[in-house]
Amino acid sequence: MTTPSPSEVRKPSLARTVKAVAWSFLGIRKNSEFHNDAAHLSLFHIIVVGLVGALLFVVSLIALVNWVVAK
């Protein structure tokens, strides 16, 4: 087993995590990209961004329903 060089090790970024979670919400993801994300993203960041995304989705649906019913 070899140690990856510093250029191969990428720190998890918020933008990359949001992108990965957004594509996962849509269900459109290449298998190679999934494995790449699994190797480079933090599980904690994925869980937090997923929960925030789900919360925003639910709140936006509630707001949409209230707006439609009010008319």
Residue 8 lies inside a defined structural domain of this protein? no
Q: Which amino acid is at 69?
A: V
Domain membership flag for residue 46: yes
What is the residue-wise DSSP string for 7-61?
TT-----HHHHHHHHHHHHHT---HHHHHHHHHHS-HHHHHHHHHHHHHHHHHHH
Evaluate whether residue 3 is within a structural domain.
no
**pLDDT band, very low/low/confident/very high, at 71 (cuts 50, 70, 90):** confident
What's the alpha-carbon Rg for the chain, to the nearest Å? 17
Q: What is the pLDDT of residues 2-49, one digit of tens each?
A: 555 555 556 778 888 888 888 888 888 788 887 887 788 888 998 999
Query: Does 34 reside within a domain?
Result: yes
Asked, for residue 1, whether it belongs to a domain, the answer is no
Q: Please state which of the ranges 4-8, 36-40, 50-54, 63-67 shows the lowest mean pLDDT.
A: 4-8
- Give the integer Cα–Cα distance in Å for 3 and 6: 9
Q: Is residue 52 part of a domain?
A: yes
Q: Which two tokens stand for residue 65?
A: 């329903």
In this prediction, residue 5 carries a pLDDT of 55
The answer to whether residue 36 sits within a structural domain is yes
pTM value > 0.85? no
Give the range of the structural domain holding residue 49, as residue numbers without chain letter. Answer: 14-70
